Amino acid sequence: MSAPSRPEPNYFGAGPALLPTNVLEEAAADLLNYQSLGVGVGEMSHRSSQATDIINETKENFNKILNIPDTHEVFFAQGGGTGGFAAVVYNMLASFAQKTGKKGKVDYFITGAWSQKASEEAERLGADVNIVADARKFNNGKYGVIPAKSEWKFSDPSETAYVYYCDNETVAGVEFAEVPEVPEGVELVADMSSNILSKELDVSKFGLIFGGAQKNIGIAGVSFYVIKKSLLDRLPQKEANALGIQVCPIFLDFPSIVKNNSAYNTVSILCIHIINLVLKNLLAKGGLSAQESLSKRKAQKVYSILDQNPALFNLPVDKSARSNMNIVFTINGEGNEEKFLKGSSARGLSGLKGHRSVGGIRVSNYNAVTEESIDKLIEFVKDFIKEASV
């Protein structure tokens, strides 16, 4: 039985986001009957041999596409990005305590809503939080810049459990152009929920990379983690408690998850399977080098037409920090944003409304958004410019 197809969507939603149609077609068939087992991939045990094969193959393809060194381990967990905010605190503090006998401080960059939420969660869980740089202090109270390196204020490296940043902020439309340099010996943690697999990456620079799958590589219900293996060591819990480090819920405990090959509890095998299909799809298309070129080309097409019309379009993000994944802008002139959304919808272009907290327009340029979709959007923008009045 072949899965039903669909017209190729021109969808720019920020997440859960678009997936390649051919990936969804294969996943749909496997959801009904996986490898002629008579049951679907969402029905079989997460500890069955077939599920184990899916987990192992997905890890193998993650390693292959990101060229992950032997020093690091890939695993999958529940909790989404928000669960990751807490898991990072519990696990990284415990690892630092094992190494130093200290609770340690934690350093956070705040460059948008998600890194702000992550820092607030760390503080709520009792961590000693230092803000390396808060972008709002350098941009009239708003996000839209990456503060200059000269403004970064790190904690004493000997006291720092980790430095945390969000590589791409979906709401603010801000992306780091390069991996931030941190003090020698301090572990770097990155939330890459929304731009993982959009560009080449030197994994060796990171202690931990994590994110929810639903932005760029899968569906909601699973998170990915790439961790330095040495960070899986930690103090016994009683000793950690004595240092003020809280007990980590077992389903977020990294050593327990890794020891059980991502299946300590009932992880979604369907979600992991879809990640694997996406990985295989990307590998077949040339890997991250090809994807990075495509992502940049698509983004530049959008930024170019907007920059050519500054009287109509306002781009709040500094050019040095513009995201290739989430292009945000507002439209000058009364009623123009409503006209833009109504007109784009009439053309079959959907998912363009900005986040409810900031409004405006947001073009999410994830991997599954084709260049043809971007070109259709550009044609609409050109027609909109002719008719719009400021």
| Catalytic residue numbers, as ranges | 114, 191, 215
Could you list the beta-strand ranges (E) of the chain.
10-11, 72-77, 105-110, 128-134, 160-166, 168-169, 174-175, 188-191, 208-212, 223-228, 313-314, 326-331, 349-350, 361-364
Smallest CA-to-CA distance from 255 within 125, 119, 121, 87 is with: 87
Q: How far apart are CA 169 and CA 182, in angstroms?
A: 20
Q: How far apart are CA 109 and CA 121, in angstroms?
A: 14
Q: Using an 8 Å Cβ cutoff, are 169 and 114 in contact? A: yes
Q: How far apart are CA 298 and CA 378, in angstroms?
A: 10
Which residues lie closer than 8 Å to 303 by C-beta, 6 or more apart?
Answer: 315, 322, 327
Q: How many contiguous H segments (helices) and E segments (strands) does the chain have?
A: 10, 14
Q: How far apart are CA 183 and CA 207, in angstroms?
A: 13
Running DSSP on this structure, what letter comes out for residue 323? -
Beta bridge partners of 160: 105
Structure tokens at 305: 């037409």
Residue 96 Cα distances to 61, 110, 111, 130, 245, angstroms: 30, 22, 25, 16, 11
